[in-house]
Homo-oligomer: A and B are copies of this chain.
C-alpha cells in the first residue's frame, strides 16, 4: 500500500485509528475457546465489527508466538483475512525485529512477502544495515522505534548524545538511509510534549502512536503536537477495544469503544 492510499483512507473514514490485535486467550470470551482457532475467530469478529472505523490493524507477533505453531497459523489466517476482505486496511506486523543485513532480509521477506503485511516495526539499535533491508521493498513500510511508550524509554532513548536525545539521533540518522521515504516511526502517546520536537525533525513522516488508553496517553494532546497536514498519525488502541466485554456481545462492545475513538478523531480532523 502506498502512503497516499493510507492518507485517502484516513480522509474517507475520518479516522486514524489502528487496532492492536494483541490476543490473550485468558482474556477473550470463554465460548470462543471451543472454536477450532479461538484467536482467529476472535480477530475475525473484531475486524468485521470495526473495519469501517479503523484504518490499520496491528497484530503484535509476541502474542502469536506465545502459542507456538498454532499461534503462527492464527497470525497467518488473520493477515490473509484482512488482505482478502479489507484490502484498503493498512496492516502492521508489530514484531520489533532488527538484525545484521542478511538476517534482516530474511525477516523482511517473512513479513512482507510471505505473510503479506504492509509494514513491520523494527528496532534501531543495530543501525543502518539492520534496517535498510526492510526499506528495500516498494510500497512497504518500516516503522522504526524512536520514542516508546514504556517507562524503560528513559533508560536509553532520552539520554543525550552530543546534547541531543538518542531518539532524536535515531530520527535524524535514519532520514539519510536508502529509501528513507519508506520509514515511519513509533512515538509513544505518553510523551505528548515530545511531539513538537519530533515534528521539527520528521515533519512529513507517519508516526505510529501506542499508549493511548490503557497506558494513559491523551489523544487530544498527541494530535495537538503531532498532527501534520496529512494527519500523519496512526493512533493505536489494543486492550481498551479488544476487551471491552468478555461476553457474547464482545465484538459489538469493541465496536462501541472504536466508535468513541473514531468520533473523537473526526472531531479533531474537522476542526483543523
Contact = CB atoms under 8 A, between A and B. Distances in A.
B125 A125 contact: yes
A66 to B, nearest CB: 4
A150 B127 contact: yes
Given A127-B156, A156-B125, A100 B169 contact: no
Given A103-B22, A152-B130, A169 B159 contact: yes
A52 interface: no
Interface residues of A, number: 54
Given A106-B63, A109-B66, A166-B156, A125 B124 contact: yes
A66 B110 contact: yes
A66 B169 contact: no
Contacts of A114: 66, 68
A150 B102 CA distance: 11
A45 interface: no
Contact of A129 (B66, B115, B152): B152
Interface of A: 22, 60, 62-63, 65-66, 68-69, 72-73, 76, 94, 96-101, 103-104, 106-107, 109-110, 114-115, 123-131, 145, 148-157, 159-162, 166, 169-170, 173
A262 B66 CA distance: 36
A98 B128 CA distance: 19
